[in-house]
Structure 1
Amino acid sequence: MPVLPSLKDSTFNTDLRDRHLIYDYSAQDSAGNPEKWRYEMWFYNEDRIVYAIHGGPMAGRKNFQSATYQCIRPGELWQCNWLEETGTICSLVFDIVNKKITTLLAFSRGHWERNQEAKGDKRNPKDFER
């Protein structure tokens, strides 16, 4: 039995392939003031996600990751998961019908304490070595 679910015969191509999403959510800064965080993502293909972060402590980060996709309900609900080199765990559920994204991001303590260093681009060899 394969470890990753097969997307053969799934609706990935019609539901997600090359789909570009931008989503905002309400957050608070360290002083409790309201702010908006914006995330942008592309479901590039069946084993890759590309994203950019435009708000919050990770603003400025642009990255691509190997990802796994799982169809929960064809044409309606998909889950995408990935693990970053930094140890950050990312999971999102995209509700196509209701145009809603639900996420779970588990950052390491180092991301919060040294977020400037965490914004590196792995396509830049100097950043990747960190």
Structure 2
Amino acid sequence: MPVHPTLEGSTFNEDIRDRHLIYDYAAKDKQGNPSKWRYEMWFYNEDRIVYAIHGGPMAGRRNFQTATYQCIQPGELWQCNWLEETGTICSLVYDIPKKHITTLLGFSKGHWLHNEKSHGDKRNPDDLARWRELAKVGESQADRVLLYSQADILEDFRGPGTLQPIEMSWSTL
């Protein structure tokens, strides 16, 4: 696919394309004890991300999504945003030199309250249908749980790693 006009002339190919990050959020469990929430993000191309969640309440989730990217500072800061089938809004800022991720997530009420139902793989039609039902829980789209956090990057490499490649023809949302 052609590069989006907002990415033309940017450092997207050098900075982001095909980059794979594994990172941990330093969170706490329900008893207040330290708990690592491991995430894995693959910036597949200028239109998609592929990710897996290995720790925390959303552990066991594998997804791919249409994403938008914007360069904040070439070679240093990039933002990636997407909307999930569950109704969850995700925004991630990647600080390349500091090897750091900052996120803001607007979880749908259904996703947050019934996080075990958000587990699974989008490639499985039953999982995808269940996720879409989670977006309907709550009084309105304003009924969200906001979670902001920061994570340190543990691994940074190019390529899929253990994540499965996707077809651009596969639908998102």
TM-score relative to the length of structure 1: 0.92
Count how many residue pairs are aligned between Structure 1 and Structure 2.
127
Alpha carbons 2:86, 2:110 under 8 Å: kept: no
- Which segments of 5 or more consecutive residues in structure 1 lack a partner in the other structure? none
Counterpart of 1:22 in structure 2: which amino acid?
A: I
The offset of 1:30, in angstroms, is 1.4
Relative contact order higher in (CA < 8 Å, ≥ 6 apart): 2
The offset of 1:19, in angstroms, is 0.5
- Which segments of 5 or more consecutive residues in structure 2 lack a partner in the other structure? 131-173
The offset of 1:58, in angstroms, is 0.3
Aligned to 1:87: 87
SS at match of 1:128: helix
Q: Distance in 2 between matches of 1:77 and 1:119?
A: 30
RMSD: 1.3
> Could you say if the C-alpha distance between residues 53 and 121 of structure 1 is closer, same or farther in structure 2, counting changes exceeding 3 Å?
same
Q: Distance in 1 between matches of 2:77 and 2:21?
A: 15
Counterpart mapping for 1:1-130 below 5 A: 6-130=6-130
The offset of 1:129, in angstroms, is 2.0
The offset of 1:99, in angstroms, is 1.1
| 4+ residue segments displaced more than 6 Å | none
Alpha carbons 2:22, 2:38 under 8 Å: kept: yes
> Could you say if the C-alpha distance between residues 11 and 51 of structure 1 is closer, same or farther in structure 2, counting changes exceeding 3 Å?
same
TM-score relative to the length of structure 2: 0.70
Deviations 1:85-118 (A, max 9, x none): 1110100101111111111112122223211111
Q: Distance in 2 between matches of 1:17 and 1:98?
A: 18
